[in-house]
Amino acid sequence: MRTILVVANETLAGAKLLDVIKDRAEHSGDGTRVVVCVPRNRPKHGNIIYDDFVFDAAKVRIDLARRFLRDQGITAIGDIGDPDPYTATMDAVAEHQPDEIIVSTYPATISGWLRRDLIERIEQASGLPVTHVVQDIDAEGIPFHVTLVVAARTASGDELLSALKEKAAADKRGTLFIVIVPQDGGEGQHAARARARMAQVVDRLISEGLIAAGMIGDPDPYTATMNALQFFRVDDIVISTLPATRSGWLRADLIERVRKASHKPVEHVETAERSSANAA
């Protein structure tokens, strides 16, 4: 079986990379296996780096890439790598023994990877053919609409589900929902509670036939949102809260702060009150 190692991070969803992978797989025949390696990112926002969030962000990228490739009839597995892209690549080479490597980056003017001579170092160390795919996904876009959904205690609300179903029905390209649930505090039980909420809303979306993936985030919803925007190219944002009389997020002016900082359309979905203290 021929193995193709794909190394990418924020450009993983770019159309150029997906086209190159499909072309390689078609020319290699039915015995092709794709290994998607995503080095973990360090978030730019917040004073604390939460390992769960960093891991989840990489896993979401892998899961979505694998789903897209699977829909194209391509077998793919995922590998979350070291934060250093060179180390992540060489670890994946040692483990998966690929026949070739595809590395996707931003253009040289904005790519931190290229400033470290990544392509040449991988070629020299691996001895394998390396294809470099350059993508500016902010300018070129990606082949589907991406909505970032931010919610905590209201994540399972029917109002949010209805709003997301309407958005998906209105977009002919197909909509991908990335759900982020800020955790209540530090890691441990707080992270587990946030993960359970995230899993519930993602499962509901998938059961409705929508494409969705999720992760947990920084306890501060603004920080969690801005970090997600660093990791993913999104078209718009949906923020779900309780009514203003109950919502700490609204008292902190979250909607307007995200709108001004992101320059993205932000939709606010208000969810009926639940019997929960300290609600979002």
Q: What is the pLDDT of residues 75-110, one digit of tens each?
A: 889 989 998 999 999 999 999 999 999 999 989 888
pLDDT number for residue 142: 75
Please check whether residues 266 and 163 belong to one and the same domain: yes
In total, how many domains does the chain have?
2
Domain boundary among the residues 139, 168, 196 is at: 139
Position 279 confidence tier, pLDDT thresholds 50, 70, 90: very low
Please tell me whether the overall predicted TM-score, pTM, comes out greater than 0.85 for this model: no
What gap in Å lies between CA 5 and CA 162, rounded to an integer?
39
The parent domain of residue 183 ranges over 144-270
Please check whether residues 246 and 153 belong to one and the same domain: yes
Please report, as a single letter, which amino acid is at residue 9: N
Please check whether residues 53 and 106 belong to one and the same domain: yes
**What's the whole-number mean pLDDT along residues 190-209?**
88
Q: Are 126 and 90 within 8 A, CB to CB? A: yes
Please check whether residues 231 and 129 belong to one and the same domain: no
Please check whether residues 114 and 189 belong to one and the same domain: no
Q: The CATH number of the domain where 62 resides is what?
A: 3.40.50.620
Q: What is the pLDDT of residues 13-26, one digit of tens each?
A: 788 898 899 888 88
Please check whether residues 193 and 218 belong to one and the same domain: yes
Least confidently predicted of 28-32, 166-170, 185-189, 193-197: 185-189
Domain boundary among the residues 91, 124, 139 is at: 139
Name the nearest CA neighbour of 35 among 85, 86, 74, 84: 74
